[in-house]
């Protein structure tokens, strides 16, 4: 039996550029986070039949999906077997159908042989991807209590009943499944995949984008898949025309099996001058030192597609006003990104002055940052932090205006109240509603402090605990410094082997897993 293949991919948060990033004329700032999705592929025999693939999500009840792979006249068809209509997983089905079809075009001889033992695929997500329930009367989870929970907590509900936190579970899931399958079937190599810009990673990206679009039934901007593959970056979308010929698959994929994928997905395929190419922009990005990203699940829930539809409707009816607003938002977003870059380079130029400036700002609310009396690099650092704060506030105002114009709550009033209170605290730089906004979540950037009790993070947690209008639960995730998707060792990830090997894991008592 061959060694398991394990690939993880991070979740995301779109800090700036929501809606704008759907248009290739604008960019978005997407931060990939420390919380990750894992796919583990093992040979399936003896419990899985030849040419059968069993996909399981052990954290959930009733979450096993079985597929058979048929190869007829060189066409690959992945069929759901014994799936009740209420228990289907279109994202998983699309990932298998498209990736195996690509594999068969790449490696037709070995394809059948590699499937002869069947495959067992387990997919699990870090706790942050799903709202963690707490008993009525018990205090809401804090960062400290969340970090004491067992990894991959059993959720004791079905996948359709779980509440998601908006960190991009489907993009991270698809990226990890697609990459793990491409590795398993030898289409890409571990060494090639480890390189940031190598063709192996780009092939995994292109395939994951196609799978995600087809599973969602639309071509979104793709920032979430891009972050899952490449990590944090400034993203400009690819031309949606590249996927247009592949987007009209039937529900059972039967006509799809005949369309060659390699010419569209392989970055090394010959370029046809008349056809669109994968032209997305990915400029690597990191938050400056001593800046911590904090996320909170607001457990309200908003529908991104319906927000996007209404904003697009307004934009197409009011092109002039919309373009003016878009330009102002874009300028403000760019000023925030430039501020981050300046801060990172100031840290390198004079680390001591940077650290001293950060230390002084942790005791002051941003409204007082402009008046701090210092000189030299320390002053430049303080001004740059103040500039980021101001840009963050301008973007929030303009995004609210966009919501008012389009008749949707991009930053609903309770979120405004929560963010205003949070951003008024000493040592808090900026905040906002991620992505499309609504009632899902908020992000806040705080300065890191050596003194835990005086830390801005501590103050933020207190504000969130005491907020009356909504249950605000912090998430554990911070910015990930990793490359994006990566190959893992099964034994190197705490709790991973246990979640994929324990019977009825979903119903286990989390306290007994500690
Ligand atoms: N642990 C999991 N196992 C299998 N499929 C999952 C899992 N988590 C998410 N998914 C898939 O992703 C879909 C959710 O996608 P979506 O609603 O776009 O959420 P998100 O915004 O988190 O990406 C689910 O319906 C399911 O198909
Ligand atoms: C509006 C958008 O630009 C950003 C949406 O970001 P979210 O993070 O809100 O997305 P979901 O994870 O799907 O809820 C749409 C897009 O870029 O596809």
- Test site for ligand 1: of 170, 172, 175, 302, most ligand atoms within 8 A of the Cβ: 170
Q: Would 514 be classed as within a structural domain?
A: no
Q: Would 247 be classed as within a structural domain?
A: yes
Ligand 1 binding residues, C-beta < 6 A: 57, 89, 91-92, 123, 125, 159, 164, 166, 168-171, 173
Distance 169 CA to ligand 1 centre (A): 5
Say yes or no: 361 and 212 in one domain: no
Q: Would 227 be classed as within a structural domain?
A: yes
Domain that holds residue 33: 5-284+482-508
CA 232 – CA 286 distance, rounded (Å): 7
Averaged pLDDT of the chain: 93
Say yes or no: 467 and 486 in one domain: no
CA distances from 294 to 66, 142, 143, 469 (A): 38, 12, 10, 20
Nearest to 438 by CA among 312, 315, 307: 307
Say yes or no: 455 and 306 in one domain: yes
Closest ligand 2 atom to Cα of 222: 18
CATH of the domain at 109: 3.30.230.10
Closest ligand 2 atom to Cα of 20: 3
Q: Would 459 be classed as within a structural domain?
A: yes
What number of helices (H) and strands (E) belong to the chain? 15, 13
Query: With a cut of 70, which residues of the chain have pLDDT below it?
Result: 82-86, 249-252, 254-257, 453
Partners of residue 75 on adjacent β-strands: 72
Taken in order 234, 240, 246, 247, is the CA torsion positive or negative?
positive
Check residue 133 and give its pLDDT. Answer: 77
Structural domain count of the chain: 2
Q: Which residues contact 110 (CB under 8 A, 6 or more apart)?
A: 185, 186
CA 56 – CA 53 distance, rounded (Å): 10
CA 169 – CA 148 distance, rounded (Å): 22
The token pair that represents 350 in the structure block: 């004079």
CA 8 – CA 497 distance, rounded (Å): 14
Q: Would 451 be classed as within a structural domain?
A: yes
Say yes or no: 327 and 182 in one domain: no
Say yes or no: 261 and 345 in one domain: no
Please state the φ and ψ torsions of residue 101, each to the nearest 5 degrees: -60, -45
Say yes or no: 242 and 296 in one domain: no
DSSP state of 137: T
Residue nearest to atom 17 of ligand 1 (CA): 170
Q: Would 513 be classed as within a structural domain?
A: no
Check residue 256 and give its pLDDT. Answer: 67
Say yes or no: 340 and 274 in one domain: no
b/e sequence 484-508, b meaning 16+ C-beta within 10 Å:
bbbebeeeebeebeebbeeeebbeb
Distance 436 CA to ligand 2 centre (A): 5
445: helix, coil or strand?
A: strand
The token pair that represents 25 in the structure block: 């004329």
Q: Would 170 be classed as within a structural domain?
A: yes
The pTM of the full predicted model, rounded to 2 decimals, is: 0.96
Beta carbon of 18 within 6 Å of any ligand 2 atom: yes
Check residue 2 and give its pLDDT. Answer: 85
CA 239 – CA 70 distance, rounded (Å): 33
Check residue 7 and give its pLDDT. Answer: 98
Q: Pairing mode, if any, of strands 75-81 and 64-72?
A: antiparallel
Q: What is the ipTM of this complex?
A: 0.98
Distance 162 CA to ligand 1 centre (A): 10
Check residue 84 and give its pLDDT. Answer: 62
b/e sequence 143-152, b meaning 16+ C-beta within 10 Å:
beebeebbeb
Say yes or no: 331 and 258 in one domain: no
Tokens 């077997």 map to which residue?
81
Say yes or no: 244 and 312 in one domain: no
| Residues 438-459 pLDDT 10s | 998 999 999 998 777 679 999 9
Q: Would 120 be classed as within a structural domain?
A: yes
Contact 44, 117 (CB under 8 A): yes
Say yes or no: 493 and 358 in one domain: no
CA 64 – CA 81 distance, rounded (Å): 11
Ligand number with the minimum distance to the CA of 219: 2
Residue nearest to atom 4 of ligand 2 (CA): 435
CA 17 – CA 332 distance, rounded (Å): 10
Say yes or no: 319 and 387 in one domain: yes
194: helix, coil or strand?
A: helix
Stretch (H or E) spanning 6: strand 5-16
Distance 92 CA to ligand 1 centre (A): 9
Report the 10 Å Cβ neighbour count for 371: 9
Check residue 81 and give its pLDDT. Answer: 87
Say yes or no: 199 and 69 in one domain: yes
Ligand number with the minimum distance to the CA of 24: 2
**CA angle at residue 348 from 17 to 476, to 5 degrees?**
50
The token pair that represents 1 in the structure block: 């039996």
Beta carbon of 14 within 6 Å of any ligand 2 atom: yes
Distance 163 CA to ligand 1 centre (A): 10
CATH of the domain at 352: 3.30.70.890
Closest ligand 2 atom to Cα of 12: 8
Tokens 């990459």 map to which residue?
179
CA 147 – CA 131 distance, rounded (Å): 14
Over 151-180, what HEC string results? CCCCCCCEHHHCCECCCCHHHHHHHHHHHH
């Amino acid at each position: 039996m061959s060694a398991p293949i394990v690939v993880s991919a991070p979740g995301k948060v779109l800090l700036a550029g929501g809606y704008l990033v759907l248009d290739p004329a604008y960019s978005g700032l997407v931060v990939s986070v420390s919380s990750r999705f894992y796919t583990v592929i093992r040979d399936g025999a003896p419990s899985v039949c030849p040419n059968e693939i069993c996909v399981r999500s052990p954290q959930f009840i009733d979450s096993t999906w079985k597929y058979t792979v048929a190869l007829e006249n060189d066409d690959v068809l992945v069929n759901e077997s014994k799936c009740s209509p209420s228990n289907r997983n279109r994202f998983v089905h699309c990932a298998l159908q498209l990736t195996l079809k690509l594999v068969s075009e790449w490696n037709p001889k070995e394809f059948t042989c590699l499937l002869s033992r069947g495959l067992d695929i387990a997919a699990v997500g870090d706790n942050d991807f799903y709202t963690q329930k707490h008993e009525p009367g018990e205090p809401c989870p804090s960062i400290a209590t969340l970090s004491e929970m067992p990894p991959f907590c059993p959720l004791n509900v079905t996948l359709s009943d779980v509440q998601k936190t908006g960190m991009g579970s489907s993009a991270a899931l698809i990226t990890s499944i697609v990459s793990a399958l491409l590795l398993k079937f030898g289409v890409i190599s571990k060494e090639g995949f480890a390189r940031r810009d190598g063709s192996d990673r780009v092939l995994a990206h292109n395939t994951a984008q196609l799978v995600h679009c087809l599973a969602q039934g639309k071509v979104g901007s793709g920032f979430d898949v891009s972050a899952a593959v490449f990590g944090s970056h400034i993203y400009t979308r690819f031309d949606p025309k590249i996927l247009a010929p592949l987007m009209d698959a039937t529900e059972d994929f039967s006509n799809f099996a005949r369309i060659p994928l390699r010419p569209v997905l392989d970055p090394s395929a010959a370029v046809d001058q008349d056809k669109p190419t994968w032209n997305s922009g990915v400029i690597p990005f990191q938050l400056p030192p001593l800046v911590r990203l904090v996320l909170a699940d607001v457990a309200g829930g908003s529908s991104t597609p319906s927000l996007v539809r209404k904003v697009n409707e307004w934009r197409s009816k009011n092109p002039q006003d919309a373009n003016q607003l878009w330009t102002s938002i874009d300028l403000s977003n760019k000023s925030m990104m430039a501020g981050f870059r300046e801060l990172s380079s100031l840290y390198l130029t004079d680390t001591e002055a940077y650290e001293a400036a950060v230390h002084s700002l942790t005791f002051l609310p941003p409204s007082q940052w402009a008046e701090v009396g210092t000189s030299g690099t320390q002053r430049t650092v303080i001004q740059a932090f103040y500039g980021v704060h101001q840009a963050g506030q301008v973007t929030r105002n303009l995004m609210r205006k966009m919501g008012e114009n389009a008749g949707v709550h991009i930053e609903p009033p309770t979120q405004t109240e929560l963010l205003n209170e949070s951003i008024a605290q000493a040592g808090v730089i900026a905040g906002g509603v991620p992505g499309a906004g609504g009632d899902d979540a908020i992000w806040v950037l705080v300065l890191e402090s050596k003194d835990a009790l005086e830390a801005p993070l501590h103050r933020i947690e207190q504000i969130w605990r005491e907020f009356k209008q909504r249950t605000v639960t912090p998430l554990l995730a911070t910015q990930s410094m990793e490359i994006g998707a990566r190959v893992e060792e099964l034994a190197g990830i705490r709790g991973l082997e246990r979640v994929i090997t324990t019977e009825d894991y979903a119903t286990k008592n989390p306290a007994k897993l500690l």
